[in-house]
């Protein structure tokens, strides 16, 4: 799987570890910034990543901010992006299996590296189940 990853200043400290986790699971990762602790606006990075994922069919994204909330709100403004704010392996599994989510969001100030690792593993290990969920996912778009 090819992943784009982006964060704001509040997600910067954990981003390199997340890139390594994704690569260790055999994924290709493209880093879209930010690349320092200097304050930035999370929507700028959520929009940049969402556009990249939509252009690159079949790719997925990871967005990190302080809570994951601002990133998920911003990414979900893009038609075709289904960004899921995940707090644990269960929500990550369900986001993929039932919602066909294509952008994983979480908050560096909410989850530690151990939980993040289990979130990413669950996300990578889970495919969309389709079936009764496919119609529901289609209905998300207005």
105 noted as active-site residue = no
Extract the tokens encoding 96.
């993929």
C-beta closer to ligand RB5: residue 71 or 101: 71
Q: Which residues contribute to the site for ligand RB5 (CB under 6 A)? A: 8, 10, 42, 65-67, 69-70
The nearest distance, CB 64 to ligand RB5, in angstroms, is 8
7 has catalytic annotation? no
Strands annotated E in the chain:
2-7, 28-31, 60-65, 83-85, 103-107
Backbone angles phi, psi at 128, to 5 degrees: -65, 135
Q: What is the dihedral of CA 44, 54, 29, 14, to 10 degrees?
A: 40
As measured in angstroms, the least distance from the Cβ of 38 to ligand RB5 is 12
Point out the catalytic residue in the list 9, 87, 98, 133. Answer: 98
Cα–Cα distances (Å) from 20 to 108, 117, 129, 133, in that order, read 16, 10, 27, 32
Q: Give min distance, CB of 74 to ligand RB5, in A.
A: 9
Minimum CB distance to ligand RB5 smaller for 109 or for 133: 109
Catalytic residues: 65, 98
């Amino acid at each position: 799987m090819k992943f784009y990853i982006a964060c704001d200043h509040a997600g910067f400290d954990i981003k390199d570890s997340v890139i390594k986790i994704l690569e260790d699971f055999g994924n290709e990762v493209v880093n879209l910034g930010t690349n320092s602790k200097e304050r930035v606006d999370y929507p700028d990075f959520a929009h940049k990543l969402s556009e990249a994922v939509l252009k690159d069919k079949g790719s997925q994204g990871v967005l990190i901010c302080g809570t994951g909330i601002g990133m998920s709100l911003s990414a979900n403004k893009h038609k075709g992006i289904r960004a899921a704010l995940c707090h644990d392996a269960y929500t990550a599994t369900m986001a993929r299996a039932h919602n066909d989510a294509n952008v994983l969001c979480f908050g560096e100030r909410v989850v530690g590296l151990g939980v993040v690792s289990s979130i990413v593993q669950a996300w990578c290990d889970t495919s969309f189940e389709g079936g009764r969920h496919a119609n529901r996912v289609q209905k998300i778009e207005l």
